[in-house]
Chains A and B, each alone.
Chain A
Amino acid sequence: MLGLTAKDARLYLIVLVMLIFAPFFLNPFPEGSGLAQFNAGYPDMMQRLVIFGLFAVGFNILFGLTGYLSFGHAAFLGAGSYAGVWMFKLLTMNVIPALIVSTIVAGLFSLLIGFISLRRSGIYFSILTLAFAQMCYSLAYSVLTPITGGETGLQLALDDPRVLGVTQTAEGNIPVPHLFGLPMNASTSLDIGAWSFTFSVGYYFAAVVFALAFYFTIRLFRSPFGLVLRAVKSNQGRLSYTGLNARPYTLAAFVISGMFAGLAGGLMVSMDPLAGAERMLWTASGEVVLMTILGGVGTLIGPILGAGAITYLEAIISTINSTVLHRWFDIFPEWLENLLVNIVYPFVGSGWHLTLGLVFMIVVIFLPGGIVEGGRKIYGLFSRKREEPGSMPPNAAAQPGPGE
């Protein structure tokens, strides 16, 4: 199907089904129940899930395939965001031109940074990308204030030109981003019993962009180009003695992953037209590294799972406060309730990074292949029980293809 092998087509179909039905299964708990706070099926959350998924999938094209670990990809996401907002300010509130320009600007930007950083490999490459990203952050935060809005960030204003659109709406408001007239923030709800499901234009638009980008990624993984990228990671020396020049390959991978980041940045401002320098901060670059590793480096589905897990955990855990904890533990005697609340409290709310750190450590130590490896192990456990002992091919577990 679509030039994919049966296995890849199955994976792609699963992802498509997940995208389409996300508003349902991310909202498993009825409104008003104690568990409703674990629901993630609201538009803002679902948009973040796909956008960070897109960011991580792109990052994985560089890191997962070539092994070059960039600590500066947030700079491309930031550049894409600024470019997108500028398109909204100058041209039109239609998101299509904004996304195209976001992607192109981030691409040019990553071409420059990649060209310089890829002169080195290993830790020196990582440090160079980190240094560049921090420079970009400083520029955005102070030096380039006229372009970036500095500390306050870049916002839309009532007097923006918007040559192909309107400066203000009839009511005198700033117009909202739209897709040929369809506003990104429009949504409809479906109430079934105690459950409420929301379908928003913004989410489904982001999901379509993601689906296209993910299709491109699968094709890239399975192409000769993708094969050479994996060869770069495996043995760059052998590659050069085989007559291939690694530099154009790694640079292309760098630029493609930078463009994915720019596209993600463009999508972010399409949902909420505001760009700030903090999106370029090194912690934001670090987060996409964590997402990729947590999910499974070099696999197709891993970065999506990692991005989903981290985005979800961040949103959910950071909203838990001591009142919520007391409610959870009030079935216990008071002294035990207080003890439990005091133990758990540092890990929730603003302390959610502590939880992330713990989860990350556990995964890296016990599951170096990330969530994907975990899933594969569980699957292996079950299929071994069903099959005759010894009927499994000896290397089935040891040699996963790229990105299953």
Chain B
Amino acid sequence: MGILEVQGINKRFGGLQALGDVNLDVQEGSCHAIIGPNGAGKSTLLNVLVGKLKPDTGTVKFEDKNVLGLKPHQINQLGISRVFQTPEIFGDLTVMENMLIPCFARRDGSYSLKAFIGIPSEKALNAEAEEMLDEVSMLEKRDMQASSLSRGDKRRLEMAMCLVQQPRLLLLDEPTAGMARADTNNTIELLKEIKEKRNITMAIIEHDMHVVFSLADRITVLAQGTPLVEDVPENIKGHPKVREAYLGEAQV
């Protein structure tokens, strides 16, 4: 029994079958990679998981609770955080303010109308946010406006925002896209550490095979909305179907 169980998900956009009968089982404490060519439906699957999209059929269970039909903020409060393919941060706020919002969400639930507390007096949360920023080596940028960060920094900020929530399940949509090699390696180290130390389950979408094979315990290959194979990394490497999915696209 996995922490996340996805069964029989179908999603059509007009004539396009974006997801066709997708089943997925993510084991607690593992890192599950989802790979596949562009347009395979990977991001669409995550959209279903976080409540951004409603699938046509299927069920999604997280820790045995039904997730479908819940609002995005309710799903997050269950313990699912997501890093988006294009960074989703609060561009008008400073880096530190970006970090504080998930801190409040974790401590106070989906809303709390505390209009008379000064932010500086929330010492514990401030310390927590700073610690997390330090971990992604962005502490010196704490007072910068988030929209002025480089793309790689935006990603790292978004990841830090998700991690500071201490989610049970972290969904990562191409977390290293657009990052320099060194930053990619740092991110791999960070994610490895998080998985081991904090026991956060991860589902990661990634095109960079170096990242995938460094992190993944299991890999699902998605092509044209349907899972082709699911196996441990060693067996995926030379799998004929996988080659076909990637190369077949190039031949057309």
Interface set of A (CB-CB < 8 Å, partner B): 3, 5, 219-220, 222-228, 230-231, 233-235, 237-245, 248-249, 252, 256, 395, 398-399
Contacts and interface: CB of A to CB of B under 8 A. Distances in A.
Contact of B72 (A241, A248, A398): A241
A223 B145 contact: no
B76 A227 contact: no
Nearest to B83: A241
A238 B76 contact: no
B148 to A, nearest CB: 6
Contacts of A242: 73, 76, 81, 101-102, 105, 161, 165
A228 B118 CA distance: 13
B127 to A, nearest CB: 15
B77 A243 contact: yes
B130 to A, nearest CB: 16
Contacts of B56: none
B113 A252 contact: yes
Nearest to A394: B148
B49 to A, nearest CB: 11
Given A223-B116, A228-B101, A242-B101, A399 B77 contact: no
Which of A222, A233, A241, A252 has most chain B Cβ within 10 Å? Answer: A241
B165 A219 contact: no
Nearest to A235: B90
Interface stretch (B11-19, B92-100, B243-251): B92-100
Given A240-B73, A241-B88, A244-B105, A3 B118 contact: yes
Interface in B55-99: 71-73, 76-77, 81-82, 84, 88-94, 97
A268 B82 CA distance: 50
Contacts of B161: 242
Contacts of B117: 223-224
Given A224-B104, A244-B101, A252-B115, 10 more contacts: A219-B118, A223-B117, A227-B119, A231-B97, A234-B93, A235-B90, A243-B110, A244-B105, A252-B113, A395-B145
B122 interface: yes
Nearest to A245: B110
B229 interface: no
Contacts of B97: 227, 230-231
Interface of B: 50, 52, 71-73, 76-77, 81-82, 84, 88-94, 97, 100-102, 104-106, 108-120, 122, 144-145, 148, 161, 165
A136 to B, nearest CB: 26
A243 B104 CA distance: 9
Contacts of B71: 240, 245
5 contacts: A227-B97, A234-B91, A242-B105, A243-B109, A252-B113
Contact of B115 (A223, A239, A248): A223
A235 B91 contact: yes
A239 B89 CA distance: 9
Nearest to B103: A224
A115 to B, nearest CB: 15
B90 A238 contact: yes
B119 A249 contact: no
Contacts of B104: 224, 227-228, 244
A234 B92 contact: yes
A178 to B, nearest CB: 32
A399 B146 CA distance: 10
Contact of B148 (A225, A231, A398): A398
A239 B102 CA distance: 9
A225 B88 contact: no
A224 B103 CA distance: 10
Contacts of A395: 144-145, 148
A259 B101 CA distance: 27
Contacts of B111: 244-245, 248-249
Closest 7 CB pairs of A and B: A243-B76, A243-B105, A399-B145, A234-B92, A240-B72, A234-B90, A248-B111
Given A242-B101, A243-B165, A399-B148, A226 B115 contact: yes
